[in-house]
Structure 1
Amino acid sequence: MEKISFLSQYRKEVKLVNVKKLENGLKETIPKQWLEIISEEDKNLRVEKTLELWKSLFNKELSNSILYLSANLIDVELIVDNGIFTILYSIHDPQGNYMYYEGGLPGQNIKNSNLRPFWEDTPDKLRSFYEKLHDGFYYFPSRAMGLVSLSDATFFEDDEWGIIDELEEPIKINLRKTFGFFENGMGGYLAVDLENCKNDNATLWFTDDQPEYEVNFWDVADEWLLIGFEE
């Protein structure tokens, strides 16, 4: 199926953007590093520079995901949906078919999220992801199986968690300072309690199973991203 037809099944207003035709005022809203990447006419150069950016920031934390992207990333392009610009990744799955991931422009939702009052308490590397790489990076059709946009980060205090009544031991996170930064789309969250997040400490939280505490955020994020790529 042609790319834009596939994307339009999920968001009717989505369009591919020709960077050369963008007005200067709109170009100024795109971070410099991404403007340089998507302005390249050669898609191989766009891919190469994208991988360089990932490696410069997260070569250790997301090593397996970067390795997969290095072998299977086909293109990166600018798209727009209802006035919001994001980066579209075209990636080969293990069968050689295309799958599409979306990366928000870094920094664009920090001021408009529930996290704003807690941003300085957020682990440095996690802030770096949202400030320097992407405002979320996830499977386009579901907006899940990845790090979500800050505007979609789950504020645990706002949700009613029925699983709490079924916990086998007292809850070990402060719901008032816990956010879900990664969703697997099947009731699983990689969450960070900002009162207990030293050394990238995180919690695997499930809507239908017991939580797993004291996991490393990036180890799980890397594993879950790879699972999404390889499914």
Structure 2
Amino acid sequence: MITLNDIIQVIENTFADCKICFDHNDVPADLCLPKSWERFGLNLESSPVYPQSWNSFSNEFPSVISLFNGSLLGTVLMLGASVKLVYVFHDANGLYYYVGGMPVEAYTADNVNFNGLPARLQEFYRDVHDGYTFFPARSMGPQSLGDQSRVSDLVDEDDDSFAKQWITVFSNGAGDYVAVDAAKRGDTEGLIWWHEHPMVPELDVDVFEVMNAWMAIFLEDTKPRDEIIAKLH
């Protein structure tokens, strides 16, 4: 049996080095949040609250949206070195979290990696999150701009020039990456770089399709919200 107070306590213990806001009343008055973040919380008596900007990506991330609607327990705000939104779920091992960064702003105009992303992926970073990944591994979701790298940095070859235009956008946590080619602009022109076969990437993949599929597999043991709420009562 788990209660709402138990959930709050576990979250506070997990993020002990940060201030956690469980509702808007906890937010410092001088902190300006994105409009889509103004509603958040762990109210288990109503539908889970998450940024509605996700809904414009229902075609790209159908499994993620389905997970929100069926299993998300709520969202809380984490104030640390940066401001992040924490998504709270429960699986067989207990609570687990995904963390999303603040949507990116004008500073990205000078970000080489951001400028190399396909337009639709840029929209995700501007409208939804600068990264949305499993905590604390920072994997199994779109990487933050700060975590992105060039595949050439990962290749242990004397000549890595072939991979210098490949920007990682998703890590599976096991050394493999979904990447995009900065020389191209299509969401269906991505690649999968396998660390065990560094010279033979899987080309011409739809980056959203792969990310959504990998996340669905990774999160398939998440418990339905109704099951958790029933136990709370």
- Bin the TM-score by the shorter chain: 0.7 to 0.9
Distance in 2 separating the partners of 1:91 and 1:218: 22
Alignment of 1:81 with 2:77, yes or no, is no
Partner SS state of residue 88, structure 1: strand
Q: What is the Cα-based RMSD across aligned positions, in Å?
A: 2.9
Distance in 2 separating the partners of 1:32 and 1:143: 25
The amino acid of 1:128's aligned partner reads E
Distance in 2 separating the partners of 1:138 and 1:208: 23
| Unmatched runs of 5 consecutive residues or more in structure 1 | none
Deviations 1:166-213 (A, max 9, x none): xxxx99x95332210100110010000111232431010022123111
Pick from 3, 18, 22 the counterpart of residue 10 of structure 2: 3
TM-score for the superposition, normalised by structure 1: 0.78
Distance in 2 separating the partners of 1:45 and 1:194: 43
Deviations 1:70-90 (A, max 9, x none): 1111111101223x1100001
The amino acid of 1:216's aligned partner reads D
- Greater fraction of residues in helix: 1
The amino acid of 2:57's aligned partner reads F
Alignment of 1:16 with 2:4, yes or no, is no
Distance in 2 separating the partners of 1:31 and 1:230: 30
Contact 1:47/1:73 (8 A) holds in 2:
yes
Partner residue in 2 for 1:103: 100
- Residues 174, 32 of structure 1: CA spacing in aligned structure 2 closer, same or farther, 3 A cutoff? farther
The amino acid of 2:99's aligned partner reads E
How many residue pairs align between the two structures? 211
| Unmatched runs of 5 consecutive residues or more in structure 2 | 1-5, 222-233
- Residues 46, 102 of structure 1: CA spacing in aligned structure 2 closer, same or farther, 3 A cutoff? farther
- Greater fraction of residues in strand: 1
Alignment of 1:67 with 2:62, yes or no, is no
Pick from 92, 103, 108 the counterpart of residue 90 of structure 2: 92
Partner SS state of residue 64, structure 1: helix
Partner SS state of residue 223, structure 1: helix
Pick from 131, 142, 167 the counterpart of residue 179 of structure 1: 167
- Residues 223, 44 of structure 1: CA spacing in aligned structure 2 closer, same or farther, 3 A cutoff? farther
Deviations 1:7-60 (A, max 9, x none): 24xxx522312532433321x2x211112x22x684566724x264322x2111
Alignment of 1:202 with 2:196, yes or no, is no
Pick from 141, 145, 163 the counterpart of residue 146 of structure 1: 141
